[in-house]
Structure 1
Amino acid sequence: MSPRTTPRRAFLALALGAPVAASLAACGDSGPAGSGGGGAKNAAATMWILTGQPAEGIRTDAVNAFNKANPDAQIGLSSFQNDAYKAKIRTAIGADQAPTIIPTWGGGGLRDYVKNGQVEDLTPFFADNAALKDKLFASAFGAATVDDKIYALPCENVSPIVMYYNKKLFQQVGAELPTTWDDVMALVPTFNAAGIAPFSLGGQSRWTNMMWLEYLYDRIGGPELFTSIYDGQPDAWSQPDSIDALTKVQDLVKANGFVKGFASITADSNADQALLFSGKAAMMLHGAWTYGSMKSDGGDFVTGGHLAYSTFPTVTGGKGDPANTVGNPAGYYAMSSKATDEAKTAAKKFFAEGVVTDATTKAWAASGSVPVVTGVDSQFAGSDDADWLTFVYDLASKAPSFQQSWDQALSPTQAEALLDNIEKLFGLSVTPQQFADAMNAAV
């Protein structure tokens, strides 16, 4: 997930970015977070978060610490798995039963909330809390801004999409890490011949497939290609560069570039990550947020130096800058406009004092994530993850274009059509032109 002066182009002009964690494991309602903080059973405000460690623990600790320090402004916490949350929040908001504090990815979804009067204008809040605003990456405000007004708090971590490699498997087949798309395609038969899946992919989740198109569209057509789609230009999906990108991803599928049965593998269970660190797949394209879970769940895969990473390979003749990246500029929290004044007061106090603290900044960095805090790279020295953190910080901060994830940039209706058609594209049930025609009609 980025800044904004207009609701259309600003998310493409990012210098920095990140997602609210999308690699999730548990599900359900955790109940009040007050067991360690006291008083949350009688919460003035409610908050929903996404599950999955280490992010869930950091969020829960932040709420508990705030509740302990603010007995008169308690936050009641519930947690939900990624896909379950997306369904539940739509229902809750439509019924005017949203939590006070609403996780959002910004972009098109947030614009819909604003259009329907469902979220609070936080511009006055940031005017009163200028020090907090200055503390955060300026570029992270783009996806939080609609018509020059800020409707969400950027927070947590910046997460570009990264190419991960299992170095042991590359050594096993005597191959070098790919730097071009031609390299990628040449590696596919090499790994298949060795009984190793070239790429892991949690295709059942669909948004994981989308990351491939985001990068191929950028590398082939540059960020202007998706801008034309986002701006609703007629037949934008049918442009030659678009068809080229769609064709290349199907070439990879047809060459058995992805693990067998990828369409049945879910990212919510972290099964795709396990294929990489267990040695069943050589490569994986995924968000920067997966580093922390691979470190915690993958044995010595990370700590033993078996993990390598890079940005997406170049495409010969492509128009995109090799330094461009895609992903999410920050985690975001909006505030329900339907909440009581008491709940809004508690939520604003939490936004001001409990979300971006020294403790949360250290915790996000310790988890292998780059917090959306200006100058945080000065704290990386001495960390076991210093090389990784510096890589992510530089990738995000130096990118000429940081393209927001498409399912977040587009409206929810368009995003759902996109995910449905991407599933068909990867399943080879539609041609590139049929995909383009369907998306032109949806836009």
Structure 2
Amino acid sequence: MTAIATDSYHLFLDSFKSKLSDAAKLLTMPQLTPLRNQYPSYASPQTKIRLSMLATAMVDALGGPAEFQGRFTFDPVTTMIPNDNFGLEPGVWTDDTSMALCLARSLAHSKEVHDGFDEKDQLRAYLAWFNRGELSAIGRCFDIGGTTNRALSMFDTYQGRPIKEILNIIRRNLSAIVFSGNGSLMRVLPVGLTYWGDESQARVYAGRSSCTTHPSPLCVEACEAWTVAIVKIMQATATGTQYLKLDVIEHFSSYPYSNSKLQLPLNFPKSVTPLRSEASLAEKEEYYWQHHPLLQKVSRTNKGESGKEIPGLPYPMPSVKDVPSTGYVVDSLVAALYCFMGTQTFEEGALMAVNMGSDADTVGAIYAGLAGVWYAEDVPSEKFWSKRVIEWKEKLVKRELVEQVTDELVAFSEKLTKNL
């Protein structure tokens, strides 16, 4: 055999081995159940509220150590470990959970309005957390976003004035695109859990809750769209109505965004021919996998065309280019939704979210709120309560505080729902 032929043979052999290796990886990787066959776990609204709030705290604490880390640069995070970023013991949740608890307690206890939604009371709660560590896992505020910090400083200065005037000051100073961080999206969960019986009211209140610290139109719209998704799942599981994961991605793709920065990663390109109205569920799902930008990324990653496998995680991790996980609200929303759509248990999505690095705890908390509502169940199973998730719960610091505030929210939500 000539030298050229030998080289060609070895090149062919190497290529063949590589393809065999790729095929083997695909065979061992768990295959996603079709989205049209994935349903939420049915449970009472009380269970959904309790477990989604607990889920937020668990994944927030799980992701804290990976915050600020570059993707693929750290050992996989699968258990509660110390958070060296702030010198914290394992299981300590961060500002994501603290602010969600502040909002939840304000909704449950505000006395100024009958339906609980009072922006001034919410800002007081956030300021008490910032100044005195109320509703913190360790009794002090150890981390706060820049935009939130600015908004609370303005509130502290002008809190003697009427709330409309205060909100106008915050809006004038913090509405620019540069202030479009994820600080309001990370805490908005209690709004959907409280007002789930009225989608329109929940959407409006989600937007208004953002305006207390993040009045950027991008942040407002992100909170509204995310909250409506939570409400739709809550309503479906409470009434026994069919709602599929395919419906979740349809919600985000059909939402009437006014901002192209949200529309581009969550909607179909304008060049794509619309789906036939008479298409079957199978045809509809195929259309989404072929044309929806987020599902295209899931498909590319799972086929090994981009991203990378991380030992110990069930699915490949998307590349930073495809799915950045920064503190920019669009990146955080898309990353959290990717983790939800690209996995099929609560644990799988949580592990993907926190191992993205960058703003890992916040992406994890945002994911966990939605996924908690989806997977929370009255009768425990692996969909939510895997052995690993049970371990996360057992190691969660100040779990009783999270549960106490959540019980208050449950009681108030029940009261509101009865009055509908």
TM-score (norm 2): 0.26
Q: Hey, which of these two has a bigger chunk of helix by percent? A: 2
TM-score (norm 1): 0.25
| Greater Rg by CA | 2
Q: Hey, which of these two has a bigger chunk of strand by percent? A: 1
